[in-house]
Amino acid sequence: MIKDAEYLLKKHVVIRVFLCMMGHMNTVVICLGNPGSKYEKTWHNAAWILADQIISSWEFNKYAQADMSVAGDVVWVKPQTFMNNSGEVLGHLKQQYGLGEDNLVVVYDDLDLPLGSIKIAHNRGDGGHNGIKSIVLHFGSQAFTRVRIGIAPEGGRQSIPGDFRDYVLRNMDPESFALLSGLSSRFEKMIQSIHTDGYDQAMNVWNESSV
């Protein structure tokens, strides 16, 4: 059984690499956040903060209701529908790119991970995140890849006084913003690894690595 699983994983990686080289597969990376200057440096916009470190030019797509940028075979998307309606972008993206389990990546802030941590996951619950709930609703499945950006303070989610929904809409302090921004190189390499090698291989490499 183990050998069969290893064979299937290797076969999946080979097929994916071939498709990427032939230009037949786009990876669509949806970074969740809220539009507007007052949200620019909030915890809920952690995904946008990292994406903006990598992508310098965005163009608004009226059909997707999202800012978009294409870098090779990777399509970057920032929904402009506000967090709770993030999944509304999927209607156009499904038609344009044939979204499926293998080529949809959603990047979001995660209170279950400490600040400074980034993890790749696949086919998991929404963790109470309204943006992910909306993606699952419109995608029709939770079987897609996520890049989870840790935003929890020291002491974890349980150390946050009051409603955690107030916390995610607060502005980061300068030190936290600098720490998050400094993760952009690692984040970019993780996205490229998911695109080229697939989520299984990327998880094996990057969830164990600190580089």
Residue whose tokens read 């790749």: 120
Give the long-range contacts of residues 31-36, CB within 8 A, separation 24 or more.
31/76, 31/77, 31/78, 31/107, 31/108, 32/79, 32/83, 32/86, 32/106, 32/107, 32/108, 32/109, 32/131, 32/132, 32/135, 33/78, 33/79, 33/83, 34/82, 34/83, 35/80, 35/82
Whether 92 is catalytic is no
pLDDT tens figures, 16-45: 444 444 445 799 999 999 999 999 999 999
Closest Cα to residue 157, out of 108, 114, 107, 119? 114
Is the pTM higher than 0.85? The answer reads yes
Domain ranges of the chain: 25-200
Token digits of residue 30: 């949806």
| Percent of residues, the chain, with pLDDT higher than 90 | 80
Report the C-alpha gap between 49 and 114 in whole angstroms.
17
User: Is the confidence at residue 211, as pLDDT, over 60?
Assistant: no
Q: Provide the 8-state DSSP code for 64.
A: T
User: Is the confidence at residue 157, as pLDDT, over 80?
Assistant: yes
Least confident of 3-7, 9-13, 94-98, 141-145: 9-13
Mean pLDDT rounded to a whole number for the chain? 89
- What three-state secondary structure class fits 201? helix
Fold of domain 25-200: Rossmann fold (3.40.50)
Determine what percent of the chain falls in helix, strand and coil, rounding each to the nearest 5.
45, 20, 30
Higher pLDDT: 210 or 121? It is 121
| Percent of residues, the chain, with pLDDT higher than 70 | 87
Token digits of residue 60: 């608004």
Q: Active site residue: 12, 24, 44, 92, which one?
A: 44
Average pLDDT over residues 99-112: 95
- What three-state secondary structure class fits 86? helix
